[in-house]
Amino acid sequence: MSHWTIDHPETTLDRVLDDICIGINNGQDLLELIPDSPFPACSLLKALGYLVKLGTTVSRVKSEVQKFAKDVIQWKSLAKMRALIDEICKWATARLNDGRWSSIVHGLSINQEIEEFKSWIESARALFLDLTVINLAQDQLQNINDKLDTQMQAEVRCQFLANMLNTHTATNATYNKQGKQPCDANTRTAILADIDMWIHNFSGDSQNFLWLTGNPGSGKSAITASVASKCKDDKTLWAQFFINRNNANTTDPKSYFPLIARQLIDHIPDSDVAFAIHGALQNKHTLVDNISIEQASKLFVDVIQVTSKLNLAKAVVVIIDGLDETSRSRLRFTARIFSKLFTKLCCHNAKVLISSCTEDEIQKPFSNAFDVKHIHLDTSTQASIQDVSYFLTKRIGEIVKNHDLNWEEWPGIE
């Protein structure tokens, strides 16, 4: 049938009905000659003609309704206006199921209604496109505004932290600024390996604090400088404070925790670390004025906890070297505060290395700490003697070479 219709379009129902309607219209004069009595033949023929015209109109109207509904549904730009599409479908269904097809006038009005509805939908579609562009622009402007607000808040926060911390921090408190040289290659290898193992041990049995002790000149600062250098390279060194009695501004304990806080912020600017410190200082501006257990808790313990949680698979290392070189009048109080922090940290990747001589002011509060790993540098061990011998031989060799000396003459074969 489909092929027949394509090959013989003149046989389609619409064309046949059109031809019949044309014939009826052309034969109006002949109809007047047909008697209507006693049998109403003329009326029946006229009624038949009207029915044919009605059928033609109904067929076309239904086709228009179906086509229009299909076209509207295919408008991709109205994909989000499902409520409108549903309304169109309901309207089309209602028209297709309309039982008032007895009036040709009503059938003809459907075409006019479709045209009006098309015009209304086209206007709605244009309005929708305009609103889409406006909403997109508004979203972009809102995103820009949000970014500007975030940036402004970050700048305000950064300035506040600078004002609060920078005036309470020491300068030149890092190992390189203090001129602390790392251990020579192939020296202190066992101790450095032990410390490295502690740093990367995140098990529940691993301590958060390591206390490195030794007599003056035993090499504590060289070891801590070596650890700091290595951790700096692998990006696990978050903060360091090398106390030096020859640099007075590093010996005041009220600057210890503010400087560590400053370095923690600078490691990852505007992170949760900065938010934590900002919140603590906003709540209490005088927190930076002097060392206290509250200062240590808010600017050190709490912040280290936040820092450690940023990446639980990576160590967060803080190094404090030469605690015994703290101002003598504040040493006992400072050591007591540090000793109260030993049980406060609970993140196993937080690692705090403290080095000092075994001064009584430090020994007494630290000796009661059971959650601290302790390494003491004993210079009388065979390993220490070998390290010293290696160091001296290397240095003397450099002197001989630099001054073009004869080994046999100085320092001599023995």
Amino acid 250: pLDDT: 95
Q: What is the C-alpha separation between 238 and 316, in angstroms, rounded?
A: 6
Convert the pLDDT of each residue in 376-403 to its tens digit: 998 777 777 777 777 777 777 778 778 7
* C-beta separation of 214 from 377 below 8 A: yes
More confident residue, 107 or 341: 341
H helical segments located in 200-241: 220-233
More confident residue, 44 or 348: 348
More confident residue, 7 or 159: 159
Amino acid 120: pLDDT: 64
The pLDDT of residue 225 is above 80: yes
Mean pLDDT of 153-174: 91
* C-beta separation of 106 from 61 below 8 A: no
Q: Which CATH superfamily is domain 169-379 in?
A: P-loop containing nucleotide triphosphate hydrolases (3.40.50.300)
The helix (H) or strand (E) run that includes residue 238 is strand 237-242
What tokens appear for 15 in the block? Answer: 């064309």
More confident residue, 50 or 197: 197
Mean pLDDT of 123-142: 71
Around Cβ 164, how many Cβ atoms within 10 Å? Answer: 20
More confident residue, 107 or 285: 285
* C-beta separation of 81 from 127 below 8 A: no
Q: Which single residue is written with the structure tokens 């092929």?
A: 3
Residue 213 phi, psi dihedral angles, 5° rounding? -125, 165
DSSP string, 130-183: HHHHHHHHHHHHHHHHHHHHHHHHHHHHHHHHHHHHGGG--SS-STTTTTPPPP
Q: What is the C-alpha separation between 3 and 41, in angstroms, rounded?
A: 39
More confident residue, 351 or 115: 351
* C-beta separation of 78 from 84 below 8 A: yes
The mean of the pLDDT values for the chain is 79
Provide the percentage of residues in the chain whose pLDDT is more than 70: 66
- Output helix, strand, coil percentages for the chain, rounded to the nearest 5: 65, 5, 30
Q: What is the C-alpha separation between 363 and 369, in angstroms, rounded?
A: 10
Instruction: Name the pTM for this structure.
Output: 0.65
- Give the C-alpha distances (Å, rounded to integers) separating 23 from 27, 63, 348: 6, 24, 99
DSSP one-letter code for 309 = H
H helical segments located in 9-103: 13-26, 28-33, 41-73, 82-96
Q: Residue 161: which of 47, 313, 294, 270 has the closest Cα?
A: 270
Amino acid 101: pLDDT: 47
What tokens appear for 45 in the block? Answer: 């023929």
Amino acid 104: pLDDT: 45
Greatest alpha-carbon span in the chain: 159
Q: Which single residue is written with the structure tokens 């923690």?
A: 264
CA triple 339-344-347, angle to 5 deg: 130
- Give the C-alpha distances (Å, rounded to integers) separating 95 from 56, 128, 353: 16, 26, 84
Of the pLDDT bands very low, low, confident and very high (cuts 50, 70, 90), residue 404 is confident
Amino acid 125: pLDDT: 65
Question: Exposed/middle/buried for 348, CB within 10 Å: 0-12, 13-18, 19+?
Answer: middle
Q: Which single residue is written with the structure tokens 């049938």?
A: 1
Q: What is the C-alpha separation between 377 and 356, in angstroms, rounded?
A: 11
Of the pLDDT bands very low, low, confident and very high (cuts 50, 70, 90), residue 39 is very low
Q: Residue 208: which of 292, 323, 318 has the closest Cα?
A: 318
The pLDDT of residue 303 is above 90: yes
What tokens appear for 313 in the block? Answer: 């698979």
Residue 238 phi, psi dihedral angles, 5° rounding? -95, -30
Locate the domains of the chain by residue range. Answer: 2-130, 169-379, 382-414
Q: Residue 343: which of 324, 325, 365, 316 has the closest Cα?
A: 365
Amino acid 143: pLDDT: 83
For residues 42-62, one letter each, b for 16 or more C-beta atoms within 10 angstroms of the residue's C-beta and e for the rest, the string is eeebbeebeebbbbbbeebbb
Q: What is the C-alpha separation between 183 and 391, in angstroms, rounded?
A: 9
Convert the pLDDT of each residue in 366-380 to its tens digit: 988 778 999 999 877
* C-beta separation of 392 from 362 below 8 A: no
Mean pLDDT of 174-194: 92
First to last CA, the chain: 119
